Amino acid sequence: MQKLTSFIRIQLWLCIIILPAILNSQSLRFVDEVPSPAVENNVYKTAAFTTPPSSPVRTIGEWEELQGLMIAWKNSGSFYPTMLKQIVKSAKQECKVYILTDNVSYVVNYLNNTANGGSVDTTNVVFLNNIQFNSVWCRDYGPWSVYTNDVDSLLTIDWIYNRISRPLDNAVPLNFGNFIGTPVYQNTTAPWDFVNTGGNFMTDGFGTAFASELVVEENGPGNNFGVLHTPAELDTIVKAFMGITKYIKMPTLPYDAIHHIDMHMKLLDEQTLLIGEYPQGVADGPQIEANLQYILSNFNSCFGTPYKVIRIPMPDDNGAYPNTTGDYFTYTNSSFVNNTIIVPTYNIPEDAQALQIYRDALPGYKVVGINSTASIGALGALHCITKEIGTSDPLLISHQKLEDTFDTLNGYTVNALMKHRSGISAATLFFRTDTTQPYTSVVMNYTGANDIWTANIPAQTVGAKVYYYVGATSNSGKSQVRPMPAPLGYWRFTVLGLASLAEHQNNSMEVLPLFPNPSKGITCLPYKFYQSGNFKCWVTDITGNITATIYEGKISNGERKFFINTESFSAGVYFVHSLTNDAMQTQKLVVK
């Protein structure tokens, strides 16, 4: 009996101690210790919630912290391998790259090949070869990351993909959500069924979303999905599943066949719209401008102030535009990947200017151009073939950056929303007025309400350029800064003097130096408008003859960039004239 008891104890010991250790060891070896590349071929679940989350949710802004970037890569069909390789090369330096693929060895060999931009290793790359899919366009069918109560649990939201012919794509969010271990909430069952595409959804991270009216058409009468909702019902659905309280829908564009807003618009942060701009009257330019004016006239940013607008050219395709058989060349179809932003380029002179516009708008970010001529004929670029996956432990920081000021007597108050599920233990403001000198740090104090922390930058003298950023540490020990690339990244403002104030009160515009100058191609003309009103801008040659009219019409206050293509101009000296109701200025332009 004693021997039997001992034998049973040994068997129990083997079951309780050894067997789990063996299984755990095998599991670890499979997931974590497998030689590069890491291949994940789990069998995924098929269950999800079809009713809204019980807690309020918030959909992430694209500039927030990511745990990974997802792409889809087959060894056949139109999957643009050179583009995908360059995406992996940049993104793997910032986060995990999740690659859906049906052929791991093909992708690994393509990455390792020294052609097409050099060899790329598979460090930080995870291959998912058991999630089946149809197409490369994972922006449109991929999972959406939302957080309960702003910063708590990460959830995955799954819409009905607006391509009936791609059923495997439609199943990707469910399978991927199960792979990363998040609850999945599906918009597949009435009254919460919802047809949409990711390229036609853009959010500020604080409850505002933008879309074309394609979303109304595909959920309205006569659609092919058996779904029927009014625009008001769509508002209710995205509020319940995505936390969207302001769903801004705009008319579709005449020459954009897919009607996705990411082809001509991008949010760079909570208050800044990057808008594609055609030459006056060309292609979709008039409708894009009408949609923008609708936004500016009816909606404010989450800070309660007007949106800032940055213009970026929509270049021609060998002299043709979408209304004249040209491909839909666009620079707004870019993707944030933590401290990097990847931007589509087309091997044309305008590329350099577009990348510079991004660098000026996003100081400190690594701006990487990736040639997208392979995919743009199919109406998609980098944003269309990537999908961001939010971090599982977000530390949310949001700040409305300070504007230029005339105040030389009072400090400049910096308020920032800082939030983590464990709470914030400390926050710091960093500032400097000389980029060659270190930052000065100032302790930020909690205001006692709404997760707002505050500190002051001391008053500065006239002409000072102030560079600053903020950081926070949670009670759990996590640290985060904003802008995310800080200290290389920063916000900035200038202290202007009374002379500047008088000048701005007397003049409705400030004409900034045009660039590049000398020019031979797309040239940028930046302005600051201090009043709304009429504006005209035109070019004359040295004899006074009008060579081109750049813009004539109404203008709103704020920063604005106009563009002119001088490629057809004869070499020589020209003059760019700018006229408002109360001011006229002229700049010299040299064409090579």
pLDDT per position as a tens digit, 96-121: 999 999 999 999 999 999 998 899 99
Max Cα-Cα span within the chain: 116
Which tokens hold the place of 362?
A: 């996003």
Q: What is the pLDDT of residue 19?
A: 34
In the chain, % of residues over pLDDT 90: 74
Q: Which residues of 434-468 are buried (b: 16+ CB within 10 A; e: fewer)?
A: eeeeebeebebeeeeeebbbebebeebeeebebbb
| Average pLDDT of the residues of the chain | 90
Q: How far apart are CA 205 and CA 182, in angstroms?
A: 19
Q: What is the pLDDT of residue 33?
A: 28
- Specify whether the CB–CB gap between 484 and 65 falls below 8 A: yes
Q: What is the pLDDT of residue 184?
A: 97
Q: Is the pLDDT of residue 138 over 80?
A: yes
| Three-state DSSP state, 585 | strand
- Specify whether the CB–CB gap between 158 and 127 falls below 8 A: no
Q: How, if at all, do strands 38-40 and 125-128 pair?
A: parallel
Q: Residue 522 — very low, low, confident or very high, per pLDDT cuts 50/70/90?
A: confident
Q: What is the pLDDT of residue 544?
A: 77
Q: How far apart are CA 305 and CA 310, in angstroms?
A: 16
Of residues 13 and 113, more confidently modeled? 113
Q: How far apart are CA 337 and CA 343, in angstroms?
A: 11
DSSP code of 383?
G
Q: What is the pLDDT of residue 376?
A: 97
Q: What is the pLDDT of residue 520?
A: 81
Q: What is the pLDDT of residue 332?
A: 98
- Specify whether the CB–CB gap between 117 and 89 falls below 8 A: yes
In the chain, % of residues over pLDDT 70: 91
- Specify whether the CB–CB gap between 451 and 494 falls below 8 A: no
Q: What is the pLDDT of residue 35?
A: 38
Q: What is the pLDDT of residue 29?
A: 23
Q: What is the mean pLDDT of residues 74-92?
A: 94
pTM of the model: 0.81
Q: Residue 18 — very low, low, confident or very high, per pLDDT cuts 50/70/90?
A: very low
Q: Residue 11 — very low, low, confident or very high, per pLDDT cuts 50/70/90?
A: very low
Q: Is the pLDDT of residue 4 over 70?
A: no
Residue 31, CA distances (Å) to 26, 128, 174 in order:
9, 12, 20
Quick one: which H or E segment has residue 351?
A: helix 350-361
Q: What is the pLDDT of residue 514?
A: 87
Q: What is the pLDDT of residue 503?
A: 53
Of residues 280 and 163, more confidently modeled? 163
Q: What is the pLDDT of residue 15?
A: 38
Give the neighbor-by-neighbor strand order of the sheet with 412-419: 396-398, 412-419, 452-457, 445-446
Q: Is the pLDDT of residue 297 over 70?
A: yes
Q: Write the pLDDT tens digit of every residue in 195-251.
A: 999 999 999 999 999 999 999 999 999 999 999 999 999 999 999 999 999 999 999
Q: Is the pLDDT of residue 369 over 90?
A: yes
Q: Residue 68 — very low, low, confident or very high, per pLDDT cuts 50/70/90?
A: very high
Q: How far apart are CA 119 and CA 378, in angstroms?
A: 27
Q: How far apart are CA 180 and CA 156, in angstroms?
A: 10
Q: Residue 558 — very low, low, confident or very high, per pLDDT cuts 50/70/90?
A: confident
Of residues 343, 274, 349, the one with CA closest to residue 318: 349
Q: Residue 524 — very low, low, confident or very high, per pLDDT cuts 50/70/90?
A: confident
The answer for residues whose C-beta is within 8 angstroms of residue 23's C-beta and 6 or more apart is: none
CATH class of segment(s) 396-499: mainly beta
Q: Write the pLDDT tens digit of every residue in 454-467.
A: 999 999 999 999 99
Q: What is the pLDDT of residue 280?
A: 85
Of residues 477, 316, 493, the one with CA closest to residue 406: 493
Q: What is the pLDDT of residue 16?
A: 33
Of residues 169 and 518, more confidently modeled? 169
Q: Residue 449 — very low, low, confident or very high, per pLDDT cuts 50/70/90?
A: very high
Q: What is the pLDDT of residue 506?
A: 57
Pick 57-390's CATH classification: 3.75.10.10, 1.10.10.10, 3.40.50.720, 3.90.1170.10: 3.75.10.10
Q: Residue 505 — very low, low, confident or very high, per pLDDT cuts 50/70/90?
A: low
Q: Is the pLDDT of residue 438 over 70?
A: yes
Q: Residue 338 — very low, low, confident or very high, per pLDDT cuts 50/70/90?
A: very high
Q: What is the pLDDT of residue 413?
A: 97
Q: What is the pLDDT of residue 531?
A: 80
Pick 508-591's CATH classification: 3.40.605.10, 1.10.287.110, 2.60.40.3880, 2.40.30.10: 2.60.40.3880
Q: Is the pLDDT of residue 310 over 60?
A: yes
Q: What is the pLDDT of residue 34?
A: 30
